[in-house]
Structure 1
Amino acid sequence: MARLRIGIDTGGTFTDVVALDEDTGEVVTTKTPSTPADPAAGFAAGAAKALRLAGAAREDVAALCHGTTVATNRLLEDRIDDLGFVTTEGFGALLEIARQSVPDGYGNSYFWVKPPRIVPPGRVREVGGRLDHTGAELRPFDEGSAVAAARRLRDAGVRAIGVCFLHSYANPAHELAMRDVLRREHPDAVVSLSCEVLREYREYERAVTTLVDAAVKPAMGGYLARIAAGAAARPLVMNSNGGVLSADEVARRPITTVLSGPAAGALGAAFVVAHSGHGSVVTLDGGGTSTDVAVVVDGEPTLTTEGAVGRHPVKIPMIDIVTVGAGGGSVAWRAPEGALKVGPRSAGADPGPLCYGRGGTEVTVTDAHAVLGRIPPHLLGGEVPLDVAAARAGVEALAAELGLGVERAAAGVLEISAWNQANAIRQITVKRGLDVRDYPLVAFGGSGPLLACRLLDVLGSPAAVIPENPGNLSAFGLLTVDVRNDHVRTRVVRDTELDPTLLGEVFGELEREAAEALQREGFGEGRYVRSADLRYHGQAFEVRVPAPTGPPDEAFRAEVVRRFHDAHEALYGYCHRDGGGQHPVEWVNLRVSGIGPITRPRLRERPPGDGDPSRARTGTRRVYFDAWEDATVYRRERLAPGDVVDGPAVIEEFGSTLPLHPGFRARLDGYGNLVVTR
């Protein structure tokens, strides 16, 4: 019988693979270089390598889970071509008007220029017809103008179209009619409707989210078809909301895959460290191109719908992740004013850092680590030899430009990278009202553990946890998540005027949609999680709170409102629990998530060793921390639970390295995690 579950996470530099044998619990991990020109080739190579290492055949694969950056990278790189927009007559300037907001406030953005909008004016078409906010028809759908719009876009060569009519979240009839026209007049077009992508009010965010979905649909559709054709099992694809869906479902709504890989990393970290008693942590996923940070509270990553990918607001449920261009391949450069800067540009997988010997010409963070001896002269257990001499020559040239010594310049590159990561962590903790000193740091990814000790100093975190096989944790995280789909309806109504019958009708409709989606995924039964977005009348944004199970009656309504008051007070320090008529509560959005549970991996606690880490010692190496020192080098897989290593030391493994600074200590716990403390 098929017994292997494989997780494949395609990153900007490496494709990470984990194969889990469900019969024995044995885990095989490996990496292959990513293939940016055709990510499907890297996917296939990773799957084949995992099967070879596991001694298995294609028919042994029971499940295949995938985290992809195809949609995200197209948005980050602004590779958006031939995109058209159809909207309600009179609202053609919707994208241009957008929101009256400037990044970082006007004082810090005096020279800010509004970026080009996602669809140029010449590809916007208006169609007659109008609905009010309840979904009632004020003017009928104008098929004549719809036909003219479809033909104009067809003649202009537009192949991807987003449709967003005013108030279609309340009544999708006009958008469905527009799709019928497009199918008849422009059958080659790929079409996304806002009523299917995001049935939630706020027309600007709904329009951009729909357009982003349309923009990535052709590329994602082709990519998913290629990996499905060569896959040993039906692929499941990681979504931003913390669940997976089949490739067929994702092809219908590819917007759900933005931040796919980072979401898997946060979930994998939460799953692994929960066994060691760490329910609330900050996760730091350091890759070759970027570093992604998230917060896990009581075992669950925090969710948001106020996200963005690049310059595009994306209003879909996603794990709250902050990304910064501070990975191993981030380029160090001298700014015009003479200062040393690092990132956000990356050398990526091709050509990569100088030490890769593939034609790279710029110093990167990895080169600085190599010059200072903090990583071995090879990666992936010797599969990728490093040219340390080339890295040193590059750092010497940069140091000469800056008027610094070689060691000082290399250490400066790492210091700036550490502060870039620390600022991202502060953005997701301090800016959210959380004290970073209360949360251990879980560092993983190929480059995540490299700056862990310095981050403990900068942030004041109590400890850093380095999971086993940290370079492959995102791929492992893909094997820990359930199938999940999200559904939303906007119903703006004051609590004092709310009829609980309305709640029952809307939640019932959403749960039926969730059940149908789970049935398409092969689940006869599932679990349904309700939530609601509420606010005080006059506020611009909402607070989401979980809603209880059971019939939506008066007690249900009162419990949700109580949870809203509690959440508002926790977030902002005050609430209007007894506000009466002055601060009435408004219900805004109702949500249901359909969850199809999977069998999760079992983590087994290991017996303690004899407390002598010398069995893992492989020698010493000169490493530069604040000065050159003789650091003891250890192989992580030879350490046993209870072993303690004191810095200066370097702990090496297949996919990552932990430089342990002087004054720091690492202890291996019963589940194979290295716990680093001062």
Structure 2
Amino acid sequence: MRKQVRVGIDVGGTFTDVVVVDNSSREVISQLKVPTTHDVKEGVALGIINAINQALSELGILPEEVIFIAHSTTQATNALLEGDVARVGVLGTGNGLEGLKARIDTFIPAIELAPNRFLNTEHAFLLQKEISEKQIEKELDRFREAGVEVVVASEAFSVDDPENEELICRESRNSGFLATSGHEVSTLYGLRTRTRTAVINAAILPKMIHTAAMTDQCVKQAGITAPLMIMRSDGGVMSVEEVNRRPIMTMLSGPAAGIAGALMHEKVSDGIFIEVGGTSADISVIKDGKPQTKSARVGGHRTYLHTLDVRTLAIAGGSMIREAQGKIVDVGSRSAHIAGLKYACFQSPEIFEGATLVHLRPTEKDADDYIAIETSGGKRFSLTPTCAANLLEIIPSTAFAKGSREAAARAFKPLADKIGKTIEETALEVLEISCRKVADQIEELIKEYHLDRNMAELIGGGGGAASLVLFTGKIMNLPARLAKKAEVISTIGVALAMVRDTVERNIVDPGPEDILAIRKEAAEAVIKIGAVPESIEVQVEVDTRRNLVRATAFGTTELQKDQNTAKKITKDQCKAEASKSMQVDAEEVIFSAETSHLWVFSHEKIRKSFFGLFKTTQHIIRVIDQSGVIRFQRSNAKVYSTDVSRSLEVLEEVITGLTSFGDAGRSLPDVHILIGARIINLSGLADMEQALALASAELENFPGEEKIVLVASLM
């Protein structure tokens, strides 16, 4: 049988990483690093194709055996940070009194992208009754004289009727402009924010179209027939055609690749993912197998772009130590990379014989309390958290950050002598300062997202993960581990990412028909950008406070013929995994229910209060697949077994029995349906009718005798 592989490419500022993943086993079979090609005609596309050709030739893989290829890019983010943007003209429309407000809302003042770098726009406005090809052409002539490259069409309520926006875009393209519109970037009401989002989309459109076209051309020239996909800011991928329409979706997609790796490769259901490089650490939350998102801000202004909620800290494996008056005053924010220094722990120990401590400024604007170690030969090296972790033998032998303990020990001696401590005490202080910064941010996220500490774990990715993540787990008393192939987890995430899109609508009191219509629209959106219909799953959320309905659809570009290639383990082994996660003896864990691919285990925990006079029972739940991965967990929930034929009847009984009432009105329980290997999320819905309609749509293609399990969370 012909081998099928997936290729992931992570384009960085200096290097481009490539991984080749076996499509069946999902195991990495090759990884390599090549220089990123900025200064050639083809741009970064040349480096990408060089890397692909090298990887395939080394493995003897034919181009036609590549069934999926995707890359992440920092092009959109860099273009905004560097002010390398196109000049944009906004042509707004409106009518009557509403038109007066629309004229104001479609005028977008200069957006500061970086110090002294602004995104400026030209603005024109037509009343709806004035809209004609002749009038549009007149405004386009004025835009042309002002140097406009991309036109934004923006009209109030265009999400309901986009006809005028589409006319303006069509005429603009016929006149030689690139064009985009408000309804293309968001389906939410709010003309000002929608227009601003469209302006940012337009500003990066020419650069991204050029880059995507060059890369796509190179991939095709290599003989690869699989469509090229590009990483999105929400952790999914999109087609080149979609990038040409909405390049803004690739903005801030760098951290998204690592989180996709944590989800798809590590199968994290609940945890904190920490991707550690040499200069910074990105921290994000995964809850119920989903990364948490937020609205992106550009130049301090809100947009309708949803990105993963990633908190970036200026602390990492290569952060430099700062010392003054015989005390370590800080670690970071500057890194060894910025100062042009190599890590001491990756050198030969003997070169530090007779080395001395020196102070320096990594850049001209920095304080002079950063330290380095200078050898007797005049070479300088940096002491870093990676060096400290190697000295204390915290880093596993197989980790990317593993260096020489002896080199680290000798290099730390001048600093230890200066502050009057042993080398071990000095290294420990460096790690405590560094990891406390990470721990403080994690505590903030745990509080913000109401995470259960008993279910959370820390997962480290990136080349510097072993330097900080394991010790952070220790000081926080949380389980911590390194992802497999942690140093290329982002690239693996690109290779395994799913096609994804989100549809949002502002609807007051949505009925079941509204829920199903938006669900269908989201599914059709991902089919349009490359997903196979049979692979699609849709998650629907209802925010009654904001009158918002959001449907997120995801799927794959191919049907995996053998989806169960992971090594299976026994039910007793899964029970052992459940007991370990629950932190109880295996004898106290009960097998509660099952589907054809999932096992449900539970443990009853008795809580006593008021000196033992009152007792409450807590039902801890773990859902584990047959490869031993925890797919879903709850600290207190009820489990119900049934089949598809009785599913709606049982679901109605469960919701009725567990619905609570309070000052804010009725509150439905969070219910998840387990069927086969799938976990269908019915949480976040506003009423019974919505839940029943969604459940019916999700289960309609399954046979009536198929086993299902309902898990209802308790307050």
TM-score range, shorter chain: 0.5 to 0.7
Match 1:316 to one of 305, 311, 319: 305
Q: Which moved more, 1:279-288 or 1:474-483?
A: 474-483
Q: Does 1:209 align with 2:197?
A: yes
Whole-Å separation in 2 of the counterparts to 1:398 and 1:127: 66
Deviations 1:609-643, CA, capped at 9 Å, x for gaps? xxxxxxxxxxxxxxxxxxxxxxxxxxxxxxxxxxx
Is contact 2:295-2:303 (8 Å) kept?
yes
Alignment-derived partner of residue 56 in structure 2:
51
After TM superposition, the structure 1 = structure 2 runs for residues 231-630 of structure 1, keeping only pairs within 5 Å, are: 231=219, 232=224, 233-274=226-267, 279-302=269-292, 304-308=293-297, 311=300, 313-328=302-317, 367-369=383-385, 371-372=387-388, 374=390, 414-436=431-453, 438-461=455-478, 463-491=479-507, 493=508, 495=509, 500=511, 504=513, 507-508=516-517, 511-512=520-521, 514-515=523-524, 518-519=527-528, 521=530, 523=532, 525=534, 527=536, 529=538, 531-536=540-545, 542=546, 587-591=547-551, 593=553, 595-596=555-556, 598=558, 599=560, 602-604=565-567
Q: Does 1:141 align with 2:131?
A: yes
How far has the Cα of 1:269 moved from its partner? 1.6
Q: Does 1:224 align with 2:212?
A: yes
Q: Which moved more, 1:57-66 or 1:220-229?
A: 57-66
Whole-Å separation in 2 of the counterparts to 1:86 and 1:351: 48
Identity %: 26
How far has the Cα of 1:403 moved from its partner? 12
Is contact 1:16-1:471 (8 Å) kept?
no
Whole-Å separation in 1 of the counterparts to 2:178 and 2:411: 47
Deviations 1:551-575, CA, capped at 9 Å, x for gaps? xxxxxxxxxxxxxxxxxxxxxxxxx
Alignment-derived partner of residue 560 in structure 1:
none
Equivalent residue of 1:90, what SS? Answer: helix
RMSD: 4.8
Is contact 1:67-1:478 (8 Å) kept?
yes
Q: Does 1:91 align with 2:104?
A: yes
Deviations 1:194-217, CA, capped at 9 Å, x for gaps? 111111112333223222222222
How far has the Cα of 1:127 moved from its partner? 0.8
The one-letter amino acid of 1:313's match is R
How far has the Cα of 1:284 moved from its partner? 0.9
Deviations 1:133-170, CA, capped at 9 Å, x for gaps? xxxxxx55376664444223322222234333333223
In structure 2, do the counterparts of structure 1 residues 521 and 271 end up closer, same or farther at CA, with 3 Å as the change threshold? closer
Whole-Å separation in 2 of the counterparts to 1:118 and 1:413: 40
Is contact 1:323-1:424 (8 Å) kept?
no
Alignment-derived partner of residue 20 in structure 1:
21
How far has the Cα of 1:292 moved from its partner? 2.0
Is contact 1:14-1:288 (8 Å) kept?
no
Equivalent residue of 2:567, what SS? Answer: coil
In structure 2, do the counterparts of structure 1 residues 205 and 92 end up closer, same or farther at CA, with 3 Å as the change threshold? closer
Equivalent residue of 2:244, what SS? Answer: helix
Deviations 1:381-422, CA, capped at 9 Å, x for gaps? 999999999999999999999999999887766554433433
Match 1:167 to one of 145, 150, 157: 157
Alignment-derived partner of residue 184 in structure 2:
196
How far has the Cα of 1:282 moved from its partner? 1.1
How far has the Cα of 1:602 moved from its partner? 4.3
Whole-Å separation in 2 of the counterparts to 1:595 and 1:31: 28
Whole-Å separation in 2 of the counterparts to 1:384 and 1:296: 25
Equivalent residue of 2:204, what SS? Answer: helix
The one-letter amino acid of 1:39's match is V
The one-letter amino acid of 1:153's match is F
How far has the Cα of 1:594 moved from its partner? 5.6
Whole-Å separation in 1 of the counterparts to 2:413 and 2:82: 31
In structure 2, do the counterparts of structure 1 residues 437 and 332 end up closer, same or farther at CA, with 3 Å as the change threshold? farther
Deviations 1:259-292, CA, capped at 9 Å, x for gaps? 3342232232234444xxx631111111244322
How far has the Cα of 1:176 moved from its partner? 1.7
In structure 2, do the counterparts of structure 1 residues 42 and 190 end up closer, same or farther at CA, with 3 Å as the change threshold? same
How far has the Cα of 1:191 moved from its partner? 2.0
Deviations 1:63-99, CA, capped at 9 Å, x for gaps? 212222222333344443534434356316854499x
Whole-Å separation in 2 of the counterparts to 1:114 and 1:235: 31
In structure 2, do the counterparts of structure 1 residues 414 and 169 end up closer, same or farther at CA, with 3 Å as the change threshold? farther
Deviations 1:568-616, CA, capped at 9 Å, x for gaps? xxxxxxxxxxxxxxxxxxx334535363464369443799xxxxxxxxx
Q: Does 1:40 align with 2:69?
A: no
How far has the Cα of 1:473 moved from its partner? 1.7
Whole-Å separation in 2 of the counterparts to 1:147 and 1:15: 44
The one-letter amino acid of 2:123's match is R
In structure 2, do the counterparts of structure 1 residues 590 and 265 end up closer, same or farther at CA, with 3 Å as the change threshold? closer
Is contact 2:86-2:206 (8 Å) kept?
no
How far has the Cα of 1:485 moved from its partner? 2.5
Is contact 1:43-1:227 (8 Å) kept?
yes
Whole-Å separation in 2 of the counterparts to 1:34 and 1:429: 38
Whole-Å separation in 2 of the counterparts to 1:590 and 1:514: 12
Whole-Å separation in 1 of the counterparts to 2:156 and 2:193: 12
Is contact 1:325-1:344 (8 Å) kept?
yes
The one-letter amino acid of 1:368's match is T
In structure 2, do the counterparts of structure 1 residues 77 and 97 end up closer, same or farther at CA, with 3 Å as the change threshold? closer
Whole-Å separation in 1 of the counterparts to 2:299 and 2:569: 43
Deviations 1:229-248, CA, capped at 9 Å, x for gaps? 22234322222333222222
Match 1:180 to one of 170, 173, 176: 170
Whole-Å separation in 1 of the counterparts to 2:27 and 2:550: 42
Is contact 1:285-1:448 (8 Å) kept?
yes
Whole-Å separation in 2 of the counterparts to 1:3 and 1:114: 44
How far has the Cα of 1:334 moved from its partner? 8.7
Alignment-derived partner of residue 655 in structure 1:
none
Q: Which runs of 5+ in 1 are unaligned?
A: 99-111, 131-138, 537-541, 543-586, 608-669, 674-678
Whole-Å separation in 2 of the counterparts to 1:183 and 1:40: 26
In structure 2, do the counterparts of structure 1 residues 144 and 331 end up closer, same or farther at CA, with 3 Å as the change threshold? farther
Equivalent residue of 2:210, what SS? Answer: helix
Is contact 1:10-1:68 (8 Å) kept?
yes
The one-letter amino acid of 1:523's match is V
Deviations 1:477-534, CA, capped at 9 Å, x for gaps? 234332222223333x2x3xx6x4xx63685377257426515526355535252442
In structure 2, do the counterparts of structure 1 residues 279 and 590 end up closer, same or farther at CA, with 3 Å as the change threshold? closer
Alignment-derived partner of residue 119 in structure 2:
119
Whole-Å separation in 2 of the counterparts to 1:367 and 1:47: 36
Q: Which moved more, 1:314-323 or 1:445-454?
A: 314-323
**Higher RCO (C-alpha under 8 Å, 6+ residues apart):** 1
Is contact 1:92-1:124 (8 Å) kept?
no
Is contact 1:282-1:439 (8 Å) kept?
yes
Equivalent residue of 1:316, what SS? Answer: strand
In structure 2, do the counterparts of structure 1 residues 392 and 300 end up closer, same or farther at CA, with 3 Å as the change threshold? same
The one-letter amino acid of 1:281's match is G
Is contact 2:498-2:554 (8 Å) kept?
no
Alignment-derived partner of residue 80 in structure 1:
85
How far has the Cα of 1:475 moved from its partner? 1.9
Deviations 1:344-373, CA, capped at 9 Å, x for gaps? 66676996757799xx96679975146547
Is contact 1:530-1:591 (8 Å) kept?
yes
How far has the Cα of 1:446 moved from its partner? 0.8
Whole-Å separation in 2 of the counterparts to 1:407 and 1:9: 37
